[in-house]
Protein backbone atom coordinates (compact mmCIF):
# COMPACT_ATOMS: atom_id res chain seq x y z
CA UNK A 1 0.00 0.00 0.00
CA UNK A 2 1.18 3.48 -0.87
CA UNK A 3 -0.16 6.69 0.67
CA UNK A 4 0.25 9.86 -1.33
CA UNK A 5 -1.42 13.19 -1.84
CA UNK A 6 -4.63 12.92 -3.83
CA UNK A 7 -4.14 15.79 -6.26
CA UNK A 8 -6.27 14.90 -9.29
CA UNK A 9 -9.95 14.69 -8.41
CA UNK A 10 -11.46 11.70 -10.21
CA UNK A 11 -15.23 11.99 -9.89
CA UNK A 12 -15.89 8.41 -10.99
CA UNK A 13 -13.69 6.81 -8.32
CA UNK A 14 -14.78 9.25 -5.60
CA UNK A 15 -18.48 8.66 -6.31
CA UNK A 16 -17.86 4.90 -6.28
CA UNK A 17 -16.04 5.15 -2.94
CA UNK A 18 -18.68 7.34 -1.26
CA UNK A 19 -21.48 5.15 -2.64
CA UNK A 20 -19.91 1.87 -1.53
CA UNK A 21 -19.48 3.12 2.04
CA UNK A 22 -23.03 4.46 2.06
CA UNK A 23 -22.24 8.19 2.19
CA UNK A 24 -24.65 9.02 -0.62
CA UNK A 25 -25.72 12.36 0.89
CA UNK A 26 -22.32 13.64 -0.28
CA UNK A 27 -22.96 12.52 -3.85
CA UNK A 28 -26.31 14.32 -4.17
CA UNK A 29 -24.47 17.42 -5.39
CA UNK A 30 -21.28 16.40 -7.15
CA UNK A 31 -20.09 19.92 -7.91
CA UNK A 32 -20.21 20.76 -4.18
CA UNK A 33 -18.31 17.56 -3.33
CA UNK A 34 -15.64 18.43 -5.88
CA UNK A 35 -15.33 21.97 -4.52
CA UNK A 36 -14.99 20.50 -1.04
CA UNK A 37 -12.08 18.39 -2.23
CA UNK A 38 -10.47 21.30 -4.04
CA UNK A 39 -10.71 23.56 -0.98
CA UNK A 40 -9.46 20.99 1.52
CA UNK A 41 -6.29 21.55 3.48
CA UNK A 42 -5.00 18.13 2.41
CA UNK A 43 -6.39 14.99 0.79
CA UNK A 44 -4.41 11.77 0.94
CA UNK A 45 -5.17 8.60 -0.95
CA UNK A 46 -4.22 5.04 -0.15
CA UNK A 47 -3.36 3.12 -3.29
CA UNK A 48 -2.73 -0.52 -4.04
CA UNK A 49 -1.32 -1.26 -7.48
CA UNK A 50 -2.11 2.37 -8.38
CA UNK A 51 -5.81 1.81 -7.57
CA UNK A 52 -7.49 4.01 -4.95
CA UNK A 53 -8.55 1.99 -1.90
CA UNK A 54 -9.23 4.83 0.57
CA UNK A 55 -8.97 8.54 1.23
CA UNK A 56 -8.68 10.96 4.10
CA UNK A 57 -9.62 14.62 3.71
CA UNK A 58 -8.82 17.34 6.23
CA UNK A 59 -9.84 20.97 6.51
CA UNK A 60 -8.60 23.76 8.78
CA UNK A 61 -5.69 26.15 8.98
CA UNK A 62 -2.99 23.52 9.47
CA UNK A 63 -1.45 25.35 12.42
CA UNK A 64 -3.98 25.66 15.24
CA UNK A 65 -6.70 23.27 14.06
CA UNK A 66 -7.21 20.42 11.65
CA UNK A 67 -10.56 18.75 11.20
CA UNK A 68 -10.75 15.27 9.70
CA UNK A 69 -13.70 15.76 7.38
CA UNK A 70 -13.70 12.39 5.63
CA UNK A 71 -11.98 9.08 6.04
CA UNK A 72 -13.30 6.39 3.74
CA UNK A 73 -12.03 2.95 2.80
CA UNK A 74 -13.64 0.67 0.26
CA UNK A 75 -15.56 -2.05 2.15
CA UNK A 76 -13.45 -4.86 0.65
CA UNK A 77 -10.32 -3.12 1.99
CA UNK A 78 -11.59 -2.36 5.50
CA UNK A 79 -10.00 -3.95 8.56
CA UNK A 80 -6.66 -4.22 6.76
CA UNK A 81 -4.98 -1.17 8.30
CA UNK A 82 -5.81 1.28 5.50
CA UNK A 83 -7.76 3.71 7.70
CA UNK A 84 -5.13 3.47 10.41
CA UNK A 85 -2.35 4.24 7.93
CA UNK A 86 -4.25 7.21 6.47
CA UNK A 87 -5.05 8.69 9.86
CA UNK A 88 -1.52 8.11 11.17
CA UNK A 89 -0.14 9.96 8.14
CA UNK A 90 -2.33 12.97 9.02
CA UNK A 91 -1.30 12.79 12.69
CA UNK A 92 2.36 12.73 11.65
CA UNK A 93 1.92 15.55 9.15
CA UNK A 94 0.19 17.80 11.69
CA UNK A 95 1.95 16.66 14.87
CA UNK A 96 2.46 20.25 16.04
CA UNK A 97 -1.19 21.25 15.63
CA UNK A 98 -2.91 21.72 18.98
CA UNK A 99 -6.36 20.49 17.97
CA UNK A 100 -7.09 17.65 15.57
CA UNK A 101 -10.81 16.98 15.62
CA UNK A 102 -13.41 14.86 13.88
CA UNK A 103 -17.06 13.93 14.07
CA UNK A 104 -18.15 10.37 13.43
CA UNK A 105 -20.90 7.84 13.93
CA UNK A 106 -21.33 6.81 17.54
CA UNK A 107 -20.82 3.07 17.16
CA UNK A 108 -18.65 0.83 19.32
CA UNK A 109 -16.37 0.13 16.33
CA UNK A 110 -15.74 3.78 15.42
CA UNK A 111 -15.31 4.86 19.03
CA UNK A 112 -12.82 2.04 19.63
CA UNK A 113 -10.92 2.89 16.43
CA UNK A 114 -10.48 6.58 17.22
CA UNK A 115 -9.61 5.92 20.85
CA UNK A 116 -6.95 3.45 19.67
CA UNK A 117 -5.50 6.31 17.58
CA UNK A 118 -5.22 8.59 20.63
CA UNK A 119 -8.45 10.57 20.26
CA UNK A 120 -10.67 11.41 23.23
CA UNK A 121 -14.37 12.14 23.30
CA UNK A 122 -15.10 15.82 23.91
CA UNK A 123 -16.77 15.00 27.22
CA UNK A 124 -13.54 13.37 28.44
CA UNK A 125 -11.77 16.69 27.88
CA UNK A 126 -14.38 18.79 29.68
CA UNK A 127 -15.73 20.01 26.35
CA UNK A 128 -18.83 19.55 24.28
CA UNK A 129 -19.37 19.83 20.57
CA UNK A 130 -22.11 21.32 18.45
CA UNK A 131 -23.11 20.84 14.86
CA UNK A 132 -25.67 22.47 12.60
CA UNK A 133 -26.77 20.22 9.74
Kindly state whether residue 64 falls inside one of the protein's structural domains.
yes
Kindly state whether residue 96 falls inside one of the protein's structural domains.
yes
**Number of domains making up the chain:** 1
Q: What is the pTM of this model?
A: 0.93
pLDDT value, residue 45:
98
> Does the pLDDT of residue 133 top 90, yes or no?
no
Neighbours of 26 (CB within 10 A): 18
Q: Which residues pair with 3 in a beta bridge?
A: 46
Kindly state whether residue 112 falls inside one of the protein's structural domains.
no
Kindly state whether residue 119 falls inside one of the protein's structural domains.
no
DSSP string for residues in 20-85: HTT-GGGGGSHHHHHHHHHTSSEEEEEEETTEEEEEEEEEE-SSSEEEEEEEEE-GGGTTSSHHHH
pLDDT in tens, 19-52: 999 999 999 999 999 999 999 999 999 999 999 9
CATH code of residue 93 = 3.40.630.30
How high does pLDDT run on average in the chain? 95
With b meaning 16 or more CB within 10 Å and e meaning fewer, what string describes 57-87? bbbbeeeebbbbbbbbbbeebeeeebbebbb
pLDDT value, residue 57:
98
Beta strands 99-102 and 2-5: pairing type?
Answer: unpaired
Kindly state whether residue 117 falls inside one of the protein's structural domains.
no
Kindly state whether residue 63 falls inside one of the protein's structural domains.
yes
Domain that holds residue 70: 2-102
Kindly state whether residue 9 falls inside one of the protein's structural domains.
yes
CA distance 124 to 59: 23
CA distance 49 to 72: 18
3-state secondary structure of 101: strand
Amino acid sequence: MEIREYTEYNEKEIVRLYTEVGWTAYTDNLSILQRGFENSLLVLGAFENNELIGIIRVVGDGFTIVFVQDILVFPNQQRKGVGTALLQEILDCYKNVRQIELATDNTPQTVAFYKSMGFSEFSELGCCGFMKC
